[in-house]
Each structure stands twice: as structure tokens, then as C-alpha cells.
Amino acid sequence: MLVFGFWTTKICNTRSTQQNRNVLFCLKKDPFPGEAPIPQKQLQKFQRGKKCKVPAGARERLKEAIAISEAMSEHAQKQAARYDLLLPEDAGFLEGDEDEDTNTISQADIADAVDITSGSKYFNLHLSQFGPYRLDYSRTGRNLLVGGKKGHVACIDWQTKDLKCEMNVMETVNDVKWLHTEAMFAVAQKRWLYIYDSKGVELHCVKKFNDVLRMQFLPYHFLLATASATGFLQYLDVSIGKEVAAICTKMGRLDVMAQNPHNAVIHLGHPNGTVSLWSPNQKESLVKMLCHRGAVRSLAVDKTGTYMVTSGLDRKLKVYDIRAFKPLHSCFLPAGASCLSLSQRGLLSAATGEIVQVYQNVLGSNPVSKPYMAHRLRGQIWGLAYCPFEDVLGIGHGEGFTSMIVPGAGEPNFDALDTNPYRSHKQRQEWEVKALLEKVQPELIGLDPGQLSKVDQASFEQRHKEQIEALGFDPLAKDKFKPKTKKKGRSSAGAIEKRKRKVAHEDQRDEIRQSVQERTEREKELKEKSNEKKLGNKSTLDRFRK
């Protein structure tokens, strides 16, 4: 009971404090009630598709379903727009003084002007011995892979200038490509495709892939797409080590290749001026477009999958809208572009002879006027690639490798869960597992990446036909009639044959029976009609008939 007395007093105390608090609340008022408003522009950025309106006279369940889904998507959109605050980095560009073209500013000047770390991003590697270099940056932008024509392969952590491995494969190297992590890379050598680890140890020699000239890696599908001199486009699933598809393009030597990062479609350029689009699911090209009068020399597709830039032997540079397959604009380059590359922010770099030119605002309707930046090198340019998340353009040429500063090229905000340039060893392992779990199957590659979220409206017959094709037999087909075995000599061959004949063509017979019946009915009707007609020839005495 004592205890009881105690808690009653306590209650009294709390009550008084609450009253005090209430008084405080009364005094203070929230000047900004409710949630913080989100600017319309940000909301627009995360709008996904059109809102669905509830049709008039819809059932209750439908109304609810639509309302719930709409509320959910709106909530998601709002939250995403809110979190957009967390991507504060912005890209800037090089701006010249009055009457000064930005393309006349030399790399050395830029390197001097910027801070030391950024300045160190402009450097040259003198590798004149092993011929023109191909290059590839890893997806995080930390590591650089260079492969010389004459067999020199090296991977470098280019920011710390830490040489990971260096070797000479003693064979012609056509192309080099990082696989999903910095731990592995593929080298297209004279005959076969080889896969090495980051220390330069040969992991695989894939003999199914021969005479590979160009490679592309599809990171979300774990597919290595290769284009060979024999005209084969092959897909290698690097997660399971299986060849997913091998397509004979029948287009001759394939030495121009690009991927569309939006829908993982491979673009190939051909000597007859066409560019063809491929997926591993179709033996023929998805789209074939005539782009140039001469052979296509180089290709590049932008990150959003909206624009494609091509350059051909006719010295033209063309920009296409590949959603509508329409050319936007084209221009002449004096020497024609041998290599093209698009940065994450849409800067186009074109290698014309020994000069690398960078163009701004190419993607869009306004035509190209003059380059944003330019840089002269020694020797033929063989490879061009922008470093992801950095304002750096890597150039592989006859005299080695040059890293060039291009302000405003890289995406300033990275998705740390997807590609984190600063990730640790453990994070990489974690990411690898997650990426493998989220691996997109190669069947889903197509022109429209949103195809999966659409209802398949094919007819039953069509689907049935496809099913038969896929399975190799008709799952709905009727079983063939099998007569029962009977005893006492009734299962003799003759008897079985008789029984079979009884059932044979049962379907056909049904049809015939039906058609006969219909015909007889029709005839009957006709007869009746004709009878009526006959009766129609009335004589004058017919009126006396009853």
C-alpha cells in the first residue's frame, strides 16, 4: 500500500509538468507547418511514366488498386526528390577570356592553373616501343588498362601511378577490356581471347573466341561481347564462363563496336557505311541503319542511350537520335574522326589524325561549331576513353599514353552502391556478391529495356507457336490413339488395325459431319424459299384458296 501511495504522488507530479509543457506549446508556434516543400523541377526529374487516372464507373477494387499504386509511386518520387539534396556536386566547364577560344588553352596551362592533385591528372607515358595503345578505364575510374599493339599490356592505378602489373604477351593485342572488377581483364590477342587477373596471371584462354578485334563489357549482365575479324559477334557470360550467343553477322570484318549503356544493345559499324544493332537473343540485327557513304570508322553512344555519334570514311561526323533512328545533324571534319568517345556528361572527343578535339553540346539539335578543347599528340591515335567520375580523357597513341584534363567531363556524383571510386577491398567484395545476385539475364536484352514491365499482347496461336519452337514439341498435342491389348486373339494385327481405323480421322470426320449438316440445312432453306417463290407466281384463282 505504501508503494501505491508513492505512485499516486508521482502521477500528480507528472501531471503538473505536463501542464507546464502545454503552456510552453501554446506560446510557441511552428512557423513552417507541415512537410518541407519540394521544388517542381526536382519532382519532375524523378517522374516515372504517366499517372493513371481512375476511369469513371470503375469497380471498387480497381479504384483501390490504382490509388495504392499511385500513392506508392508518388511517395517514392517525393522521397527521391528529397534525397536529391545529397548529390550536391556540380560540374563546371572551362571558360576563356574575351576573344579567347578555350581550345587554344594548352594542357600545361590548365595543369598549372588547377590544384596539385588535379594537375597531376595530366601526364604522358612514353611507350614508343610497342606501338599504338588501346586503353580502358575500370568502371570505378581508378584503374587504367593499356594494351600496345605489339603485345605490351599494363594495368595502372593511374591516380597514384601505381603499376599493378606489366607484361608482354608476345602477340598482337587488338583490344583490352576490364571485366566487372579490377581483378580481371580480357585481352584480345592475335588468335584467342585471354583473361588475366590484375597481377598478370593468365586465368583463361578462351579458344571459342578467335580473332577478336573489339570487345565491350556489359556490366549489369556480366557479358563480354566480342566482335571478330571473321564477322562473328559473340557473348561470353563471365560469371559462369559460358558462351551465351554466337551470331554470324555476315558483314565482314568487325572492327567498330560500341555498346548502348541504356539497353545493353551492341552497335557495330561496317565497311558498307551501315551501323547495326544487336542483341544476343536474335540471330539477325535488331536495326540496321545507313549512316555513311563510306565505311564507318568509329561509334559512340551516350549514357542515356538517346544519342549515337558516328564517324565515317567520308569524313563526316553524324549525331543520331537512336530512339527514333533519325539523324540530328552532321558535320565535316577535315581529317575525319578515327576514334570517338562520349563522356558521362556528354562531351564528345574525336581523334582527327594526331589531334584530339573535344566538343561541347554536341548532343542536341544545335550543330557543332568549334571544339571546346583540343590537344595535339605525336603519333596516330588508337584509343580514346573518358575516365568515369573524373575530368580526364585517356588517349592511347603511337607514342604511348596521354591523360588529358577535360573540365566538366566526368559525372561529379557517383552512386556509392553501384560504382564507388573510393571503395575498399571489402566493399568491392560485397559489391561483387550483390552485383552477381542482381545480374540481369541476357534474355532481357532488347531495344526497349522496359519491355519486361509490359503485358505480352501476343495472340494465343503465336505464343503456342513460340512454345513449340522453344520446346521442340507441341505440349497441347493429342496423344496418338493406342489400342488396348485384348486377349483371346482379339489383339491380332488385323483386329488392332480395324480398331485403329474406327478412331482414325475422328476430328476430320466430325468436321465433315458438321459441314454436311450445315449444307443440308442450307439446302433445305433454299428449297423452302424456292417453294415460296413458286407459290409467289399466283394465279388469279389463288385468292379463292383458303
Partner 1 sequence: MAPDEEELSINEQAISASEDEEGSDDERKHKKLLEAIGSMGGRKRKKQNERSEASVQVSEYFVNAEGTGDKVNLSDLLGTVEKTSGASNKTKKQLRNLQSSKETLELPLNKQQTEKIQRGIAYEKTTAEVSCWKNIILQNQKAEQMVFPLNQESSGPKRVEQVVAGWKVQTPLEQEIFRLLHGSRQPVNDPVLTPVEEQSLKAMSLEEAKIRRAELQKARALQSYYEAKAKREKKIKSKKYHKVQNKAKRKDFLKQFDEMVKTNPEGALEELKKMELSRMEERMSLKHQNSGKWAKSKAIMAKYDDSARKAMQEQLQMNKDLTQKMVVPSDDEHESIEEGLETVPDFVNDPETVIDPVNPWMRGQLTHEEPEVSCVTAEEVQTAEEENEEEEIIGEFERKRKLRQADEEDLIPTEEEQPASEVVEEDVVEVSDKEEEDEDEEEDVSEFNTLFRLMRSEKTREGSNQTRGGLNTAGEEDEEGLLSEGQIRVRSIEDLEVLDEVVEPRAIEEPSAPQTAAAEATSEPPHKKKREINLKEVLTKEAKAVRLPFLPTVVDEEERDEQISIIKEAFAGDDVISDFIKDKSRQEAAGRPAVVDLTLPGWGEWGGVGLKPPRWKRKRFRIKTAPPPPRQDQKLPDVIISEKRTASVASHQVSQLPFPFQNTAQFESSIRTPIGSTWNTQTVVKNMTKPKVVTKLGAIIEPMVKEDFIKSKTTAAGGKGAAIMLGENRRAKEGTKRSAEKHRGRRSQKRKK
Question: Which one of 140-148, 248-256, 461-469, 498-506 is the stretch in contact with partner 1 (CB under 8 A)?
Answer: 461-469
- The total number of residues shown for the chain amounts to 546
In DSSP notation, 142-194 reads SEEEEEETTSEEEEEETTTTEEEEEEE-SS-EEEEEE-SSTTEEEEEESSEEE
Contact 83, 415 (CB under 8 A): no
Site for partner 1 (CB under 8 A): how many residues? 108
Taking CB under 8 A as the criterion, which residues in 463-492 touch partner 1? 463, 466, 469-470
The smaller minimum CB distance to partner 1, of residues 208 and 378, is found at 378
Q: Cα 336 to chain center, whole Å?
A: 28
β-sheet bridge partners, residue 426: none
| Binding test (CB under 8 A) with partner 1, winner from 91, 119, 192, 239 | 119
| Closest by CA position to 398, among listed 122, 190, 124, 130 | 130
| Binding test (CB under 8 A) with partner 1, winner from 48, 484, 487, 546 | 48
Taking CB under 8 A as the criterion, which residues in 367-386 touch partner 1? 368-371, 374, 376, 378
Instruction: Please report how close the Cβ of residue 415 comes to partner 1 at its closest, in angstroms.
Output: 8
The smaller minimum CB distance to partner 1, of residues 186 and 395, is found at 395
| Binding test (CB under 8 A) with partner 1, winner from 118, 446, 496, 499 | 446
| Binding test (CB under 8 A) with partner 1, winner from 44, 366, 451, 514 | 451
**28 near partner 1, rule: CB under 8 A:** no
Taking CB under 8 A as the criterion, which residues in 157-176 touch partner 1? 160-161
The smaller minimum CB distance to partner 1, of residues 167 and 444, is found at 444
Question: Which one of 111-119, 181-189, 388-396, 405-413 is the stretch in contact with partner 1 (CB under 8 A)?
Answer: 111-119
**51 near partner 1, rule: CB under 8 A:** yes
Angle, alpha carbons 223-219-300 (nearest 5°): 95
**128 near partner 1, rule: CB under 8 A:** no
Contact 308, 301 (CB under 8 A): yes
The smaller minimum CB distance to partner 1, of residues 140 and 189, is found at 140
**503 near partner 1, rule: CB under 8 A:** no
Question: Which one of 25-33, 226-234, 291-299, 496-504 is the stretch in contact with partner 1 (CB under 8 A)?
Answer: 291-299
**436 near partner 1, rule: CB under 8 A:** no
Joined together, the cell numbers standing for residue 353 give 589524325
β-sheet bridge partners, residue 267: 258, 277
Contact 397, 377 (CB under 8 A): yes
One character per residue 382-421, x = contact with partner 1 (rule: CB under 8 A): ---------------------------------x-xx---
The radius of gyration of the chain from alpha carbons, rounded to an integer in Å, stands at 36
CA gap 206, 198 in Å, rounded: 18
Taking CB under 8 A as the criterion, which residues in 207-266 touch partner 1? none
Task: Give the max Cα distance, the chain.
Answer: 127
Q: Kindly state the DSSP code that residue 444 receives in the 8-state scheme.
A: G
Taking CB under 8 A as the criterion, which residues in 295-324 touch partner 1? 313-315
| Closest by CA position to 208, among listed 173, 170, 252, 241 | 241
The smaller minimum CB distance to partner 1, of residues 293 and 524, is found at 293
Contact 201, 187 (CB under 8 A): no
